[in-house]
Amino acid sequence: MVREVIWPKIVQNQLSKAYEYILKDSSQNAEKVKKDILASTHKLVANPEMHSLDKYRKNNDGSFRAYELHRYRIAYQITKTQIIIVRVRHSKRIPKVY
């Protein structure tokens, strides 16, 4: 089964804000972080269960998973036809249970 990666508008904005923040110090680093995060989410298509369950998700039925990359925590949900990116958040920020 082939799934597609979905980036809801709110999550696109989270990635854009992270990019803009890093851009203040280094355009090269901002591009690298953005490129690496996008590439890592596309790898999920081949093996969506490669990362551990999201420990900050209340009542996680096993479809919510998360991982860290470049100090950003990427949370996503696996459905039958999609991988929905739920959140991109810096790992130094206080975790939010959702």
- Do residues 97 and 58 make contact, with C-beta atoms less than 8 angstroms apart? yes
The string over 45-63, giving b where at least 16 C-beta atoms fall within 10 Å of a residue's C-beta and e elsewhere, is: eeebeebeebebbeeeeeb
pTM: 0.91
Is 95's pLDDT higher than 90?
A: no
The domains of the chain, with CATH numbers, are 4-90 (3.30.2310.20)
The pLDDT tens digits of the residues spanning 4-61 come to 999 999 999 999 999 999 999 999 999 999 999 999 999 999 999 999 999 999 999 9
